Each structure stands twice: as C-alpha cells, then as structure tokens.
Amino acid sequence: MQSKLNRRNALKNIIAGTAAIGVTSGFSALAMAEEDLTKQFKLKGNINHAVCRWCFSSLDVETLCIEAKKLGITGIDLVGPKDWPTLKKHGLTSSMCNGAEINLVDGFNDKKFHDQLIASYTEMIPLVAAAGYKNLICFSGNRRGKDDETGWNNCAEGLKKLMPLAEKHGVILVMELLNSKVNHKDYQCDTTPWGVELCKRVGSENFKLLYDIYHMQIDEGNVISTIKSSHNYIAHYHTAGVPGRNEIDDCQELYYPAIMKAIFETGFKGFVAQEFIPKNADKLASLKKAISICDI
C-alpha cells in the first residue's frame, strides 16, 4: 500500500519573481526560495492533500496529526478505527480507511477468502460510515496462477455481495492498483485496464480504484493520459518517486506538478495522499516539500 525535484526547479517561479523585481546579483534568489520553504505556506485549495500513516511510522499518530495540520493536510491515509479518535481530535479525516482486508496477497480474486472478507467488510462498512468517512481499501490478492477472467469473475462475485451494504451506508470500497514488477510480485490488479474492467463488472459507483501513481508508472506508464481517460473509475490517488519510492524530487522520473494539474482538470474532488518513503533525515521537511510541489 499499499528521488528529488531539484530545489531550483521546484522553486523556479519564486526565483523568477525575485529576478523580475531586480534582486541584485550579490543576493541569492535561491537563498530566498530556501528560506520561503521554512515558513508556513498557504495552500491554493485545488488539491485535497493527505499523507499515508505507514510512511511516517517513526512518529506517533498524535504527532503526525499535529505536523500534518501545520502543512494544510486534511487527511491521514490507511488508519483504522483505533486511531480515528485522534484524527477527529485534530479535525482530520481518515481519507482511506483500512482494517477490513486480510493482507495484500489474500484478496477477492480467490473464493476461499470470500467468507472471511465479506464478514470483515460487513462489520467495517457501518463503522466507516458512522465515523463520517467514505473510503475503505481492498485488494485483489495475488494471481497464484489465475487468468484474468477468473480473477475478474471471483472479485466481482465477492464484491457484489457487499455493494448493497456499501451503497446503503455511502461507503466506497477502493481497490488499490499495485505494481507486480518490483514491489508486489504476482499481484493481479496491477494495471488500470484490469481495474477498470473489474469496476464495469461490479457495476456500482461504490466500487472504484486507488490509482497509485508510483505503482502505475512502473507497470504501465502513460500516467497523465491514463488519468484523463479513466478518472471516472478513480476514487483516490497515491504519490511517490520513481524509481525508489522516495521523495518526489529531481532524482526520479515523474513531474508531479503536471500530474496534479491533470488530476485537477478532471474535476476530481477526492484526496491525493503522499505515500513516499522519506530517505532524507528531516522527514517532515520532505513532506512539506512534497505538498508544495503537488499544490498546483
């Protein structure tokens, strides 16, 4: 669930602005830009920002909430019921709930897990709704030799049993797209077309996809075009740098401002959650920089 925009590039607009007002050559525009990142910044309101809990596991939930709120983040991803009171205390949303799944490899594509999954999601869906939340994550599971047709049929059969309850409570079951080349070998829902076909077979607005930008860049590429063509089936986004899953900086191959612009232009109103694994010593500075890059 589941590396670096060069500071000069990330802040080129700030630098350009200082040049326009005639900053002397003896004064570093870059220094001004560096200083600006240390200040509280105001978000533009086009993107609903969230952060994944597990990526900042060195911080307790309370501290993560406090620091996230300083950055204008309004959602924390991948937390279950035990942490919801802490989020509510700080006025934050559980932007992608978890806790009903078995794990990433044992999912809806195998009928032997259906009884356990249906029981677990039947219990969790009302809890999510009662807490005022909307998204609940789920997974296809690994192929284990299943062809696409078998995987689609099995997933659809299990998920359809949950759709009446999800629809009643206004909860969306969101299946994450994960790459099967690097991080999650043999995972079945590993491309957008596979996930979109499953959405069509389930046939409910209460089943959608979590488009993980990192994972889909690895398995299929063509990120912006895919977002534009498949956005009706996407309920949530995750970020991270490719390769490495680290900071979204100039050591990776994706240009996140353009991706965020594409998401915004689809009319998306959900959350974009940072899911990179910080490798820099100051993890919160990395998070702040990521939010500033994605705040188009």
Phi, psi of 79 (to 5 degrees): -125, 145
Helices (H), the chain: 7-10, 12-20, 29-37, 61-70, 84-89, 114-130, 148-160, 163-169, 192-202, 213-219, 223-230, 256-265, 283-294
Closest CA to 214 of 101, 76, 52, 67: 52
What are the structure tokens assigned to 253, written together? Answer: 């191959």
- What pTM did the predictor assign? 0.86
CATH class label, 7-294? alpha beta
Report residues of the chain scoring pLDDT below 70. Answer: 1-41
Q: What pLDDT does residue 42 have? A: 86
pLDDT at res. 7? 38
d(CA 246, CA 240): 6
